[in-house]
Structure formats: C-alpha cells, structure tokens
C-alpha cells in the first residue's frame, strides 16, 4: 500500500511543478451568487496546461522520478485528460511517453496526445487489454507506469489546486469538487483539511456514476455500474488509496441527475463565458440543486477541465 | 459635430465606470504564440459586464448625464450588445431605459434586455422605423438617446479597454481590434496613440462587411453592402465622428474571409477555453492569415464579447 501524502508533499509538489504548470485564475459570477445566495469562487483548471487539472498530478509524479527511471520512459493507459497530461509532462522533462489507448478512442483525443509528442499504442477497448498492453511495455522497456489517480505523487499534485485556491481565498467555508477516480478529491481533502480543519469538503457525482457515494455507504470500493453519464471524466471507480483518503476525510458525497449537469454546463458557458467539460458542471449542479448547504457561505468550486468536443455538445 | 474625445476623457471615463465595470483579464496562449511567431495578449471583454466591451461606453455616457436628464429616461435602438449595455448601465444609475428593438429580434436577446429591467418597444426591422420610434419616445418623454458608437462619451468609454491593456503590457508594438461602427476602434486609437505615439493600430473587418476599409480608400463613409457576415457585431457602417478619428489615426484596415473567422473562433474556444462571439475572431483571423505584420512583436488583441447563441454555432 503506497503512503498517503501529506500537506508537506503537496507544498513540495507545488514548488516542483511551478516552472511548468499555470497558477490558474479564480473567477466569480454575480449571476451564480444571486442564484445560490452563496459567494462562489471557481478555481479554473480548464485554463491549466492540457486544459485540465490532470497536468498537476502527472507533472509532479514524472518530475519526482529519478532521472535513470525517467530515461527508461513513461507509460500510462488513458483516453482522457490524463493521457495528454502524461504526454506533455514527459516531453517537458525530456522523457519518452507511451500512451496505451483503446482502438476506438476519439480521433481528436488521439491527435491531441500525438501533438504532445507521445507514442501511442492501440489495444482492444477493455480495461484488461489496456493493463496487459501497458504491462508488456513496462516489461520490455523498464518504463514507469503513472496511474491516473491511485498514486501518492499524482494525488499530491492534484492537491496543489486547492492549496492555491485557499491561498487566494483563505476564509472559504466549503470546497466542492467532482469525484471520478478520486485523485483530485484526495488531494483536495488533504490540502484543505490540513490548512483549515473546520472547512467542509463535499464530493459530487452524477447519479449514473454514483460509485463513490455507494462506496462511502458500504465501506468498500464499489464499481461504476454504467458508463453512460455525460460527465465522461467521472466514469471511474475509486482506487485503494483514494478510497481510504476520501473515507477518512470527506464531509459528504452528493449526486445529481444528467439534466442538471447539462443545464449548469450551459449556464457556466453562457454566464461566465468559459468552456468547461461536463464533469465540471457536476459540483455546480449539486449547489444549484440545493444538494449541499451553501447559503451565506464562501464556497470554492474546482472547475476541473475544458476539453469538450465542440461537434458534440449536449444541447 | 460633437467634440473628439482625448486621452483625458478616457482617463476620466475609466474613473467614472470603475465602480461598475470589470477590469477584464489579459490572457495569453502558447499555442497562438507558436502559430504566429508573435507574443499575443488578449484583452478579454467577453468577461465584461453584459458580456461585451459595450458596457464601458454605455456606462460612461449614462453616468456623465446630468441627473435631471437621466431621470427623464434613456433610449436607444439596438438588438445587440449595446441594448444590454444601456439597459444595465441605466439600471445601475436608477434611470429608466427604453430599448427599441425590431419585431424579429431573437428571443434570447429580448429576454436578456428584459432581464436588466429595461422596457422594450418593438418596431419594424428597418433602420428608419427604429429611428422614428426612438424619436417619438424622446419627444414624448424628454429621454436622452445614447448612440451605440457615434457619441464622444461612448467612444471615451470604449477607449478604457485599450488604456487598461497598455497599463498591463506597456511595451506593446501593435494593437488590433475589429471595426463595426467604429466606437471601439476610435477609443482604442485615441488611447493607444496618446499613450505611445509609436504603437501601430490595425482594424480588422469581415470581407463581407468591408465598409470601413472602403471608406478609408474613398475618403468618405461607405455603407455596409450586405449583412450576411457571421460577425454580427460588425454589420454596421461608420459614423461621422468615428470615421474622422479612424481616418486620422489608423495604420491600416485589413479584411478576412468568413472561413477564417469561423476557424479562429473555434481555435480560441478550443485552445483558450473561452467563449468569444464571431466578431472577436476577425482580428485573430487577420493575424493568423498573415494580413498584419506581427512576427517577433508584442501584439494586443481586443476580444470584444462573448454573447453567442449556443444553439446556433457555425460548426
């Protein structure tokens, strides 16, 4: 079992990734404040390198590798933001990245990863095929596998976003973020609770991918049962490490229906003029639907990314 | 002939609108820098109140009115961003606004203006009908007409955007902005050339609405000949005041085809994760198409607004 990172690890991660990662802006919206009766602070990771918070974790994990390991290469399997994050972080460190992607991955995502100079190895679209293919590459080359969330250095990297947010707005009462594999939520919990033990941290999930909510209730990692939520970044079950951190620290996990996710994705686009991917709208919808108590409070919302296929919008 | 505003008027406008208008962010994009060989600085008026720079001018003009005039009401005719800008600026000053809109104005724009508390009077969709209707209201109520661009206080307000941009990036070599009625371009020229006489300022227009380019060549105000460019904010001819300012100060006006406008609107959305309306993409397309010399230079681009109908995207 890998070691659970601490605030010190997050502070070190922040220093480590500083030359490469953006310090993303914190935006406000008078319309959302009026609608909710709260003061909302949106931490905009859609403006992060590769368009998502994932760059923080991948960059920290790859920069922390001993040079002799990095030079043997980096491997991961992902068809989402983590793939681009690993590709770019490896490139910036002068390492070779190999990304295992399912044969049916959207062309736009394949091109994005190629654009960052990574090698792509295609496989069947099952999780077993992905893991086997990655394993084969590791055995052949000695490359290092960077897990998208169940990895202490990745978690510490993701926690740097909440750390920055609390530096800017130190008196937040609440932070809310989406829960997919739990890497962002774990890093957020460690940073936020160490900086301010009284802060409340909530997770938000689509009703159609409520595995973290069920895991919290049952006390063990529950699988995602369906993969048809529009929030494509959240179709993932928790890992052993992220489950342990979330179980120990989180105040609550709430779920929202698809219609609310689409509604508030559009509200953010129209009212704030920023492009967010559907996963980001999940915590916003939780607030707008009254699923978490926010009235009169200062609330941080982590906007996780902005990678959307503009030819396939949900309206 | 109204008086041409000076940098002093723009500085006063900036102080006047400060309590209400956002100081909008200046964003950069490594992708656009790589593509162009320039260092581009995007001044993001899409994050301005009402989602467009128009709020600056309307707010300045309305705040500058003597109270006894303002209390008789404000009138304008517009179906675009100026309508929302006048509605909000009037509301913030406690004045009544009446907006004359064509009967066929898109429902989303009508609702937006209503949302800011203005009264809407519908008329036929000709420019004559609009002006007559506004004139009738003025005669009946003593309300003040706020022209969308051919008005010194509106021009001074629009100039505050370039002033802010140059405060942040004082060593810009070039500023480029779109030209519609010329209010933004006039304010930009006055601010930029007074702050730095060596700066080059270019205007960009759609090929399908190249009236300012033709006006510059012929030496008199030429009408817009067609209204089918996607850049809906730029389907307007120059006014007497804006033509005089532009003719005296501008370095050049360049035109771009519709395909380039759509391409770079999408590039901005995808690469920068911000929502811009088609008019904003016109100067970006001018740079990307090599219509203005930018290589090795520091270039400010005024991103004018972000009000887009998300149900009618051009891709």
Reported ipTM: 0.93
- Beta-bridge partner residues of B204: B178, B254
Residue B129, chain A, CB below 8 Å: the answer is: no
Let me know how long chain B is. Answer: 315
> Considering the domain boundaries, does residue B311 fall inside one?
no
Stretch B172-195: mean pLDDT: 98
Say what the pLDDT of residue A202 is.
98
Say what the pLDDT of residue A117 is.
93
Q: Which residues, other chains included, contact A220 with Cβ-Cβ below 8 Å and sequence gap of 6+?
A: none
Q: Residues A166-215: pLDDT tens digits? A: 999 999 999 999 999 999 999 999 999 999 999 999 999 999 999 999 99
Of the partner residues B47, B272, B275, the one whose CB lies closest to the CB of residue A269: B275
Let me know if A20 is exposed, middle or buried by CB neighbors in 10 A (0-12, 13-18, 19+).
middle
Say what the pLDDT of residue B104 is.
84
Whole-model pTM: value is 0.94
CATH code (residue B201) = 3.40.50.1100
Query: Cα(B179)–Cα(B67) distance, rounded to whole angstroms?
Result: 32
Mutation target among B273, B280, B308, B314 for the A interface, most CBs of A within 10 A = B273
Cβ atoms of residues B282 and B262 within 8 Å: no
Where does the pLDDT of residue B126 fall: very low under 50, low under 70, confident under 90, or very high at 90 and above? Answer: confident
Token couple for A313: 């919008």
Stretch A133-160: mean pLDDT: 97
Comparing CA positions, the residue from A120, A112, A70 lying closest to residue A95 is A70
Chain A: residue nearest B307 by CA?
Answer: A270
Residue B81, chain A, CB below 8 Å: the answer is: no
Residue A274, chain B, CB below 8 Å: the answer is: yes
Of the partner residues B273, B306, B310, the one whose CB lies closest to the CB of residue A306: B273
Phi/psi for B176 (5° steps) reads: -130, 140
Residue A51, chain B, CB below 8 Å: the answer is: yes
Q: Has residue A140 got a pLDDT over 80?
A: yes
Place of tokens 């519709």: B258
Average pLDDT, chain A: 96
Q: Residues A35-73: pLDDT tens digits? A: 999 999 999 999 999 999 999 999 999 999 999 999 999
Single out the residue in B104, B124, B145 at which a domain terminates. B145
Say what the pLDDT of residue B1 is.
66
CB contact residues (below 8 A), chain A span 171-230, against chain B: none
Of the partner residues B47, B306, B311, the one whose CB lies closest to the CB of residue A315: B311
B15 and B77 belong to one structural domain: no
Chain B residue numbers touching A25 (CB-CB < 8 A):
25
A40 and A174 belong to one structural domain: yes
B225 and B127 belong to one structural domain: no
Where does the pLDDT of residue B107 fall: very low under 50, low under 70, confident under 90, or very high at 90 and above? Answer: confident
Report CB contact under 8 Å: B310, A313: yes
Calculate the alpha carbon distances from A298 to A35, A218, A274, A304, A305 in Å: 14, 31, 21, 19, 22
Of the partner residues A47, A273, A306, the one whose CB lies closest to the CB of residue B306: A273
Residue A266, chain B, CB below 8 Å: the answer is: yes
B181 and B273 belong to one structural domain: yes
B25 and B73 belong to one structural domain: no
A231 and A276 belong to one structural domain: yes
A174 and A115 belong to one structural domain: no
A125-A128-A131 Cα angle (round to 5): 95
Residue B46, chain A, CB below 8 Å: the answer is: yes
Calculate the alpha carbon distances from B159 to B93, B164, B190, B301 in Å: 21, 9, 7, 14
Query: Cα(B94)–Cα(B216) distance, rounded to whole angstroms?
Result: 40
A109 and A240 belong to one structural domain: no
Q: How many domains does chain A have?
A: 2
Chain B residue numbers touching A81 (CB-CB < 8 A):
none
Based on its alpha-carbon atoms, the radius of gyration of chain A, rounded to whole angstroms, reads: 18
- B148-162, B185-199, B221-235, range with the lowest pLDDT: B221-235
Alpha helices in chain B (DSSP H): 7-17, 30-36, 54-64, 67-70, 81-92, 107-115, 127-141, 152-168, 183-195, 211-218, 240-249, 258-272, 278-288
Place of tokens 């100039």: B159
Token couple for B65: 């009115």
Chain A residue numbers touching B272 (CB-CB < 8 A):
47
Q: Roughly what angle, to the nearest 10 degrees, separates helices A7-17 and A183-195?
A: 110
Residue-number span of the structural domain to which B114 is assigned: 55-145
B222 and B82 belong to one structural domain: no
Q: Residues B268-315: pLDDT tens digits? A: 999 999 999 999 999 999 999 999 999 999 999 999 999 999 999 999
B40 and B68 belong to one structural domain: no
Chain B residue numbers touching A46 (CB-CB < 8 A):
273
Q: Has residue A83 got a pLDDT over 80?
A: yes
Single out the residue in A145, A168, A185 at which a domain terminates. A145
A27 and A101 belong to one structural domain: no
Q: Residues B235-281: pLDDT tens digits? A: 999 999 999 999 999 999 999 999 999 999 999 999 999 999 999 99
CB-side neighbour CA atoms (13 Å) of B239:
19
Say what the pLDDT of residue A1 is.
66
Average pLDDT, chain B: 96
Single out the residue in A104, A121, A145 at which a domain terminates. A145
Phi/psi for B223 (5° steps) reads: -75, 155
Say what the pLDDT of residue A186 is.
98
Maximum C-alpha span of chain B: 57
Residue B55, chain A, CB below 8 Å: the answer is: no
Q: Residues A204-223: pLDDT tens digits? A: 999 999 999 999 999 999 99
Query: Cα(B187)–Cα(A156) distance, rounded to whole angstroms?
Result: 48
Q: Residues B67-76: pLDDT tens digits? A: 999 999 999 9
> Considering the domain boundaries, does residue B281 fall inside one?
yes
> Considering the domain boundaries, does residue B12 fall inside one?
yes
Q: What is the dihedral of CA B143, B144, B146, B151, to 10 degrees?
A: 170
B95 and B220 belong to one structural domain: no
> Considering the domain boundaries, does residue A225 fall inside one?
yes
Where does the pLDDT of residue A256 fall: very low under 50, low under 70, confident under 90, or very high at 90 and above? Answer: very high
């Amino acid at each position: 079992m890998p070691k659970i990172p601490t605030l010190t690890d997050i502070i070190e991660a922040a220093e480590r990734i500083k030359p490469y990662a953006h310090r993303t802006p914190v935006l406000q919206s008078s319309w959302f404040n009026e609608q909710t009766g709260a003061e909302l602070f949106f931490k905009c990771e859609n403006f992060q390198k590769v368009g998502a918070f994932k760059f923080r974790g991948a960059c920290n994990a790859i920069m922390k590798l001993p040079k002799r390991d990095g030079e043997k290469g980096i491997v991961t399997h992902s068809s989402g933001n983590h793939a681009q994050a690993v590709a770019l972080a490896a490139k910036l460190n002068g390492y070779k990245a190999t990304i295992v992607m399912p044969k049916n991955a959207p062309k736009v995502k394949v091109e994005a990863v190629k654009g960052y100079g990574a090698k792509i190895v295609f496989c069947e679209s099952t999780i077993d095929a992905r893991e086997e293919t990655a394993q084969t590459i590791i055995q052949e080359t000695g490359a290092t596998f960077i897990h998208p969330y169940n990895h202490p250095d990745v978690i510490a990297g993701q926690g740097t976003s909440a750390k920055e947010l609390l530096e800017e707005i130190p008196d937040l009462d609440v932070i809310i973020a989406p829960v997919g594999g739990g890497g962002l939520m774990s890093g957020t919990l460690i940073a936020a609770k160490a900086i301010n033990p009284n802060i409340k941290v909530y997770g938000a999930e689509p009703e159609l991918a409520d595995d973290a909510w069920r895991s919290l209730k049952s006390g063990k990692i529950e699988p995602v049962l369906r993969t048809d939520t529009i929030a494509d970044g959240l179709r993932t079950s928790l890992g052993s490490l992220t489950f342990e951190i979330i179980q120990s620290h989180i105040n609550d996990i709430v779920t929202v229906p698809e219609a609310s996710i689409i509604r508030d994705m559009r509200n953010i686009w129209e009212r704030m003029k920023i492009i967010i991917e559907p996963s980001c709208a999940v915590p916003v919808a939780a607030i707008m639907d009254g699923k978490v108590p926010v009235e009169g409070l200062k609330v941080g919302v982590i906007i996780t990314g902005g990678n959307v296929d503009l030819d396939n919008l949900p309206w």
